[in-house]
Amino acid sequence: MHVVMMGTGALGGLFAHHLALGGAEVLGVDNAPAHLAAMQAHGLRVRSAEGDVRSPIPAFAATPPARVADVLVCFVKGFGTVAAMAAARPAIGPNTLLVTLQNGLGNAQAIADAFPGNPVLYGLTTLTSDLVAPGVIEPLSTAAGNTDLWGDTDAARQQGAAFVDVLQRGGIAARLAPDITLSIWKKLAVNCALNPLCALTGMRCGELVDLPAMVPAIDTLVDEVAHVAQALGVPLPADRARAYVHQVAQASRRHYPSMAIDVRHGRRTEIETLCGAVLREADRLNLPAPGLRQASALVSALDARLAS
């Protein structure tokens, strides 16, 4: 299986590594100059308690080689999806399976709109990984995490089954999940609570949930996501969503969410794909979501300041 990975950062690199372990031929595409140079010079270094492993994944800047991929995985930030898929066009044939495991809402639709004839597999992962230096990633929860995927067509699910098999052979607990909508909204509850609060406080996930004063703030954001999900027919009670978010935070105690890292390094965040996307649904349904609105406004203000 020939796989092109658009975005080889903390999670894109992790999946590229495990796909290669599963027997796929993987090419990476990245636009971070230092990270790309390190991968081109030394391969991707995967750091773990058992020792470091170097994954010799060929890496390219901006655009993949003009060779049709069996699978193309989009792992860029949500605001970069359209541009990444346009850059990926040389590697996309009529039967290429297009996969997104990106955060938030709207990525699968953007990919389907760009390539309406292609099968699209979409979903989420609860794995966490940190980019600790250019060319170096540190997985934090590979053994405990889950990766759920689904496709809306028979072709997507058939090709998706082969992709999932490669992930499983490479050591990732992946599955085709008919209940994908519930899984996506559970992940949204995690991302809409932990990401902005960690970004605003500079805390790791574990530090955030250990601070009693932060628990009501976390739970307020989780409750609002759950209420929107329920209004859309997704069976996600608030108490269940709270328990899940706190469980994820404990399992990834050492992890800085990507939004916190983006703020630290002066990069644009995914707030519009996360809290912003849920707020758009809340507005459409005439549901109040004051906590999400405040969190979104505060992080958006940081984005505006960093862009100025």
Q: Are 150 and 157 in contact (CB under 8 A)?
A: yes
Tokens of 200: 């605003």
Tally the domains of the chain: 2
Cα dist from 258 to 52, 76, 103, 198, 304, whole Å? 23, 12, 10, 9, 18
Same domain for 79 and 61, yes or no, is yes
CATH of the domain at 141: 3.40.50.720
Same domain for 74 and 160, yes or no, is yes
Q: Which helix (H) or strand (E) holds 39?
A: helix 33-42
> What's the rounded Cα separation, in Å, for the pair 79 and 59?
22
Average pLDDT over the chain, rounded to whole?
A: 95
Q: What residues form DSSP beta bridges with 140?
A: none
Q: How far is CA 275 from the centre of its chain?
A: 14
- How would you class 23 by CB atoms within 10 Å of its CB: exposed for 0-12, middle for 13-18, buried for 19 or more? exposed
Cα dist from 204 to 136, 183, 214, 257, 297, whole Å? 20, 23, 12, 7, 21
Same domain for 11 and 157, yes or no, is yes
The helix-helix angle for 215-231 and 180-201 (nearest 10°) equals: 150
Q: How far is CA 107 from the centre of its chain?
A: 10
Tokens of 260: 């916190």
Same domain for 241 and 216, yes or no, is yes
Same domain for 23 and 156, yes or no, is yes
Tokens of 24: 């796929």
Same domain for 163 and 217, yes or no, is no
End residue of a domain, out of 121, 147, 176: 176
Same domain for 20 and 166, yes or no, is yes
Tokens of 89: 């066009």
Same domain for 122 and 52, yes or no, is yes
CATH of the domain at 265: 1.10.1040.10
Q: Which residues contact 108 (CB under 8 A, 6 or more apart)?
A: 100, 120, 122
End residue of a domain, out of 132, 157, 176: 176
Same domain for 91 and 35, yes or no, is yes
Same domain for 184 and 144, yes or no, is no
Q: Find the mean pLDDT for residues 77-102.
A: 97
Domain that includes residue 82, residue range? 2-176
pLDDT > 90 in the chain, percent: 91
End residue of a domain, out of 138, 158, 176: 176
Same domain for 190 and 266, yes or no, is yes
**Choice between 48 and 288, residue whose per-residue pLDDT is larger:** 288
pLDDT in tens, 153-212: 999 999 999 999 999 999 999 999 999 999 999 999 999 999 999 999 999 999 999 999
> What's the rounded Cα separation, in Å, for the pair 202 and 228?
27
pLDDT in tens, 211-221: 999 999 999 99
pLDDT at residue 306 greater than cutoff 80: no
Same domain for 214 and 301, yes or no, is yes
> What's the rounded Cα separation, in Å, for the pair 126 and 186?
10
